[in-house]
Amino acid sequence: MKRSDAVMMKVDMTPMIDCVFLLLIFFMVTSTLHRQEADISFALPGVADQSEPVEIPDEQIIEIYEDGRVLLNDLEYDSPDNQEMPELVDTLVRFKATADANKVEAMITIAPGGLVKHQRVVDVLNACAAAKINNVTFAMEEDDAS
């Protein structure tokens, strides 16, 4: 007996490849690109009792409020919806240049309010990184009960 020629069935892969490319293009178009955030190492505050408060004249305090306002030494910088914060960056660059000229280290203390969005704190950290200020610390909230 002769074996009959089996009919070879082929699956056409063209439509599946087209679907994969369409999905790839869809996800590339709908995704958003975020800029790289700066990495700044900082020390979190600890609890320590001191007999006398230490005066640090070269320290700048940045306050961040819940509505997105950013104040540097009681002066408001940039609008709450501006993530780039060019006014704050310019001021911090001048502060860094002055500190370098006086041969002291530029210090920034960030004092965020209790309900401040984390993204706004990251925006301020990015502004410090753009000004090349590495000595950044956070202020602790004072307890009303103490």
**What's residue 56's pLDDT?**
42
**What's residue 22's pLDDT?**
94
Domain boundaries, the chain: 57-138
Mean pLDDT across 47-69: 70
**What's residue 45's pLDDT?**
67
Is pLDDT above 60 for 138?
yes
CA torsion sign for 92, 93, 95, 100 is positive
82-127 residue pLDDT tens: 888 999 999 999 988 888 888 888 899 999 988 899 999 999 999 9
Fold entry, domain 57-138: Nucleotidyltransferase; domain 5 (3.30.420)
d(CA 124, CA 82): 11
Write phi, then psi, for 76 (nearest 5 degrees): -80, 135
Determine the Cα angle at 104 with ends 83 and 53, to 5°.
Answer: 90
